[in-house]
Amino acid sequence: MSKPDKKIIILTEDELRKTFSRLTFEIIEKISNLENLLLVGIPTRGVHLAEVLRKEMLDKTGVDVKKGIIDPTFYRDDQNRVGTRLIEATDFPTSIEKKDIVLIDDVIYTGRTIRAAIEALLLWGRPKSIMLLVMIDRGHRELPIQPDFCGRKVPTSKKEIVYLSLKEVDGEDGVYLDKI
């Protein structure tokens, strides 16, 4: 993802790694049975973020937590505003019935992506709980949705964007702010 040079660094690679570690410990602290946990990433960065957190949990606990993907594109109520992209197949390694689910996205803004993802998830079954993890909360919510786990709150204007870069996808790790 090439961005103009005027980007502002919100989290460096080192700060991002520390944030991953903190979020991992917060999940471990909140979920009593990690065998019942399912990390569910929202494409695209949420899927890669779920994998990073899955590896962190394995390193810290020895438990290989299951990971899935939910693509909420067809459940959005604002497709005409945001457009569509290439759809990723929803994929769960197990039934979501009675699972503790941590839904993972990179940045929360209006809350509409998360609402759509929850709607899509509930068509697959009835989990025990659904919690939300985001790397960045930039405010400007249009729906009453708040993360349970948050890497960093970054107040922004609507003329700014915040994006997560991951080495596996973008060739670098960091969180950046830029003007639209």
Note the pLDDT tens digit of each residue in 63-96.
999 999 999 988 877 666 555 556 778 899 999 9
- Asked whether residue 173 is assigned to any structural domain, the reply reads yes
Encode burial over 90-117: b for 16+ CB neighbours within 10 A, e otherwise.
bebeeebeebbbbbbbbbbbbbbbbbbb
- Asked whether residue 63 is assigned to any structural domain, the reply reads yes
- Asked whether residue 2 is assigned to any structural domain, the reply reads no
Contact 44, 50 (CB under 8 A): no
| pLDDT level of residue 4 (50, 70, 90 thresholds) | very low
- Asked whether residue 64 is assigned to any structural domain, the reply reads yes
Q: Does 48 have pLDDT greater than 60? A: yes
**pLDDT tens-digit series, residues 104-149:** 999 999 999 999 999 999 999 999 999 999 999 999 999 999 999 9
The CATH number of the domain where 62 resides is what?
Answer: 3.40.50.2020
pTM listed for this prediction: 0.91
- Which of 123, 175, 143 lies closest to 15 in space, CA to CA? 175
Number of domains in the chain: 1
| Separation between Cα atoms, residue 40 and residue 68, nearest integer Å | 5
pLDDT over 70 percentage in the chain: 92
Q: What is the DSSP letter of 92?
A: -
- Asked whether residue 3 is assigned to any structural domain, the reply reads no
Q: Which domain holds residue 39?
A: 8-179
- Asked whether residue 167 is assigned to any structural domain, the reply reads yes
pLDDT over 90 percentage in the chain: 83
- Asked whether residue 1 is assigned to any structural domain, the reply reads no
3-state secondary structure of 177: strand
- Asked whether residue 13 is assigned to any structural domain, the reply reads yes
